[in-house]
Amino acid sequence: MADYDIPTLKEEIDRETVEQVLALDVDKYKYGFESDIESDVLPPGLTEETVRFISAKKEEPEWMLEWRLDAFRRFQTLEEPTWAKLHYPKIDLQQISFYAAPKSFKGPKSLDEVDPELLKTYAKLGIPLKEQAILAGVEGAAESVSTPFGANVAVDAVFDSVSVVTTFREELAKVGIIFCSISEAVREHPELVKQYLGTVVPVSDNYYATLNSAVFTDGSFVYIPKGVRCPMELSTYFRINEKNTGQFERTLIIADDDSYVSYLEGCTAPSRDENQLHAAVVELVALDNAEIKYSTVQNWYPGDKDGKGGIYNFVTKRGDCRGVNSHISWTQVETGSAITWKYPSCILRGDGSRGEFYSIAISNGYQQVDSGTKMIHLGKNTSSRIISKGIAAGFSDNTYRGQVSAHAKAKNARNFTQCDSLLIGDKCGAHTVPYIESRNGTAVFEHEATTSKISDDQMFYCLQRGLNEEEAVALIVNGFVRDVLQHLPMEFMVETQKLISISLEGSVG
Amino acid sequence: MTTPVLEIRNLHARIEDREILKGVNLVIPQGEVHAIMGRNGSGKSTLSYVLAGKEDYEITEGEILLNGESILEMEPAERAAAGIFLAFQYPIEIPGVATMTFLKAAINAQRKARGEGELSTPDFMRAVKEAGAQLNVDSAMLKRPLNVGFSGGEKKRAEIMQMALLKPALAVLDETDSGLDIDALQVVSKGVNALRDGKRSMLVITHYQRLLNHIVPDVVHVFSDGRIVESGDKDLALQLEAKGYADYDGQAA
């Protein structure tokens, strides 16, 4: 008789997932609340004055203002793209306020300055990480806090537009890591920002990226020096809080030669009727032999059960494997937003560089997701791997759109793509749109795609064993996404399994 | 007299416009093993699905009592928690869900439905180890996704293992011998017999007598055209094996 292992943590988590689902209200967005913090809000509208106001608010140097104004001028020549399989009313940028900052902050230096209302908001979020203690406590709290799995997590919390709290910075500074808000980086580390900002996602890259370049309000900045392995997972949470405020995050992560960093981004947002625009830009730069892992759990308000409200999420995320043997890995879990337009991509420039994209995209209700990746092979012996799991339920539409290309010089480029779609019910749609382009005869690209449904037989089997319908769907879907879940940092895996169940509530019966 | 575990009274069931069960009467007292034998297409599997509450079937007449309580209004999961277990003829694949994960989810779902606390991990592991040993289910198999790529024998062993862990009051075994070679049949039968504890009742559905050499029934029923047409002891199965079902065709018409 073989020995039995203790059930893996994942199995333990599966069980917890089911419990937690049952503890929750079905038809309510769990994080749908508004916190009542006084905000400094710019009146709606987008003009050159808006850009100047934001720059002035941030006390930015002249070169940054010029960079923004250049983006603003280019933006005025651009048209909103329509190629995605998304349907939504035209967004009137003149109706959006481009800046909102919690009033009680002026470049917070210590946690004592944190508005109690804000801390309450974080408490309500109920994120399974231990940042609560950090955010609620004094500076000393940060050192005593770690995740249940031993690895430390540093948090750069973004509340609307101003980076509120940055913890662990001293510890990180000891090894030369810079982890701060992008606004602060503009002031404190202009040489790095000037050198890298806009080099992965150029100012004029696309409509939303250009808009972001003109009006970005805040975001995170990370620099990992040569040879440094970041001792903890870096983490940030974004929330969209101010009514009718577009959220324009800008994140820049640079991993210098032989360095490593894992970055986690997680999001929840309060519910409301008005659609909210979110257009973030994330740029990653990996130099020689460097590795960046970027994980996202996105849980923004998807709109109500009739399709009203919800976040419009137009994000440009791109990583540049600039150095030889560099490695960038994107892992994303997309469960929220009314509209998702998002293609975290890798430019495989350095010889021997590697790009990965692991994605779980769940759509329910009237959500629309058009997401995927681009793997652009430029260097020799570059490889990439794409595993995408799309789950469509309710009346939603879920499109995987991916591009894999090999440049003429990309000798021995390799790609493996697997796109699996799972349909729940018969009113939703799953679509796979791969673009594959090879200009080098030695490149080998493989693409596999499947579409399946949760069968009545699977459901009946699970029900016969005593699971109720929602438990059965959660179990089957968690099985379906298992390949991708394994790539998430442990603490995100827990949150993700919960999210999967929550986001599929009401999809059966 | 104690209440029988299962009592079926004049049960009629249809799928779409086709009546499949045409007045089934059956009583299984506690601890007894009853076999139902009949041709393919006589409605045996339908009976098992109707007992488990599969929604494709419409009950037009009759009653099903489990320990004296009607289950007709109960959802499949409620019936499972109340003690009905169906070992499927064709167990369903659940990709990506480790067998161990599934077992734990099922056990705890049923416990919760009955208002019992969750099984602790050590208790769960002990139960799994015990049930696994009986059925040659090792830890490697428990880590594989449930039924995915399982051989016929592995699938049936996994079914009986679930039954052992879920401890149903009434186990319905639908063609458990199908797809099994003789060695696998012995392992599975041994597993089933180990669960005959004088309290648990079983309904063994098969169209071969072979299985009944290993799982010896207390009562054998002959099923034809949607109802039970004859009942007897285990020797009835041997007669059927020798003479076939032809004798009963007339009665069913």
Nearest-CA distance from B81 to chain A in Å?
Answer: 6
Q: Is residue B43 part of a domain?
A: yes
| Residue B133 domain boundaries | 6-252
Residue A22, pLDDT score: 41
Nearest-CA distance from B120 to chain A in Å?
Answer: 11
Nearest-CA distance from B128 to chain A in Å?
Answer: 9
Q: Is residue B140 part of a domain?
A: yes
What token pair was written down for B218? 């207390």
* Among chain A residues, CA nearest to B51: A464
A88 and A26 in contact (C-beta within 8 Å)? no
Residues of chain A positioned with their CB less than 8 A from the CB of B165: none
How many whole angstroms separate alpha carbon A178 and alpha carbon B24?
Answer: 76
Interface test with B, best of A463, A478, A481 (most B CBs within 10 A): A463
Q: Specify whether the backbone of A124 is left (phi greater than 0), alpha (psi in -120 to 50) or beta.
A: alpha
How many whole angstroms separate alpha carbon A265 and alpha carbon A501?
Answer: 20
Q: Is residue B28 part of a domain?
A: yes
- Is A13 at the interface with chain B, CB within 8 A? no
- Cβ A11–B125 below 8 Å, yes or no? no
DSSP string, A75-132: HTT------SS---PPP-GGGSB--EEETT-SS--SGGGS-HHHHHHHHHHT-SSTHH
Structural domains in chain B (count): 1
Residue A264, pLDDT score: 85
Nearest-CA distance from B241 to chain A in Å?
Answer: 32
Q: Is residue B1 part of a domain?
A: no
Residues of chain A positioned with their CB less than 8 A from the CB of B100: 7, 11
How many whole angstroms separate alpha carbon A490 and alpha carbon B1?
Answer: 57
Residue A236's closest CA among A299, A153, A172? Answer: A153
What token pair was written down for A278? 């979110």
* Among chain A residues, CA nearest to B81: A466
Q: Quick one: how far is CA A26 from the chain centroid?
A: 25
What token pair was written down for B86? 């169906």
- Please, what is the average pLDDT of chain A? 78
Tell me the β-bridge partners of A403: A374, A435
Of A465, A467, A479, the CB nearest to B95: A479
How many whole angstroms separate alpha carbon A50 and alpha carbon A62?
Answer: 16
Nearest-CA distance from A127 to chain B in Å?
Answer: 24
CA distances from B155 to A155, A345, A423, A477, B88 (A): 47, 42, 26, 22, 9
Interface test with A, best of B49, B50, B94 (most A CBs within 10 A): B94
How many whole angstroms separate alpha carbon B214 and alpha carbon B192?
Answer: 9
- Cβ A466–B166 below 8 Å, yes or no? yes
Q: Is residue B40 part of a domain?
A: yes
Residues of chain B positioned with their CB less than 8 A from the CB of A457: 92
- Is B168 at the interface with chain A, CB within 8 A? no
Of A11, A458, A480, the CB nearest to B101: A11
According to DSSP, the β-strands at A233-239 and B18-28 are: unpaired
Interface of B with A in 47-86 (CB under 8 A): 52-56, 75-77, 79-81, 85-86
- Is A463 at the interface with chain B, CB within 8 A? yes
Residue A149, pLDDT score: 29
How many whole angstroms separate alpha carbon A172 and alpha carbon A348?
Answer: 28
Alpha helix ranges (H) inside chain B: 44-52, 76-82, 99-113, 121-134, 139-143, 152-166, 182-194, 210-214, 235-243, 246-252
How many whole angstroms separate alpha carbon A407 and alpha carbon A443?
Answer: 9
Residue A87, pLDDT score: 83
Of B92, B93, B97, the CB nearest to A475: B97
What token pair was written down for A454? 């949760």
- Is A435 at the interface with chain B, CB within 8 A? no
Residues of chain A positioned with their CB less than 8 A from the CB of B54: 460
Q: Is residue B73 part of a domain?
A: yes
Of A5, A456, A458, the CB nearest to B94: A458
Tell me the β-bridge partners of A369: A340, A398
Give A468-490 pLDDT, tens digit per residue. Answer: 988 899 899 999 998 888 888 77
* Among chain B residues, CA nearest to A486: B96
Please give the model's pTM, rounded to 2 decimal places.
Answer: 0.79
Residue A15, pLDDT score: 47
- Cβ B101–A466 below 8 Å, yes or no? no
How many whole angstroms separate alpha carbon B180 and alpha carbon A365?
Answer: 45
What token pair was written down for B170? 């009434």
Of A5, A461, A466, the CB nearest to B81: A466
Burial class (CB in 10 A: 0-12, 13-18, 19+), A480: buried
How many whole angstroms separate alpha carbon A119 and alpha carbon A156?
Answer: 14
* Among chain A residues, CA nearest to B133: A1
Q: What is the ipTM of this complex?
A: 0.95
**Matching residue, tokens 């039995």:** A4
Of A2, A4, A466, the CB nearest to B113: A466
Nearest-CA distance from B239 to chain A in Å?
Answer: 34
**Which CATH number fits the domain that encloses residue B64?**
3.40.50.300
Q: Is residue B181 part of a domain?
A: yes
Of A14, A462, A481, the CB nearest to B101: A14
- Cβ A468–B77 below 8 Å, yes or no? yes
Interface of B with A in 148-167 (CB under 8 A): 162, 166
- Cβ B104–A15 below 8 Å, yes or no? yes
How many whole angstroms separate alpha carbon B160 and alpha carbon B134?
Answer: 10
Q: Is residue B205 part of a domain?
A: yes
A287 and A322 in contact (C-beta within 8 Å)? yes
Give the pLDDT of chain B (253 residues) as one tens digit per residue.
689 999 999 999 999 889 999 999 999 999 999 999 988 888 999 999 999 999 999 999 999 999 999 999 999 999 999 999 999 999 999 999 999 999 999 999 999 998 998 888 899 999 999 999 988 899 899 999 999 999 998 999 999 999 999 999 999 999 998 888 888 899 899 999 999 988 999 999 998 888 999 999 999 999 999 999 999 998 888 888 888 887 776 554 4
Residue A116, pLDDT score: 55
- Cβ A15–B166 below 8 Å, yes or no? no
**Matching residue, tokens 């499927």:** B88
Three-class SS of residue A93?
helix
- Cβ B162–A481 below 8 Å, yes or no? no
Three-class SS of residue A127?
coil
Of A1, A7, A463, the CB nearest to B133: A1
Q: Which residues of chain A have pLDDT under 50?
A: 1-30, 33, 104-111, 121, 124-152, 160-165, 238-245, 271, 273
> What does chain A come to in residues?
509
Interface of A with B in 17-46 (CB under 8 A): 18, 22
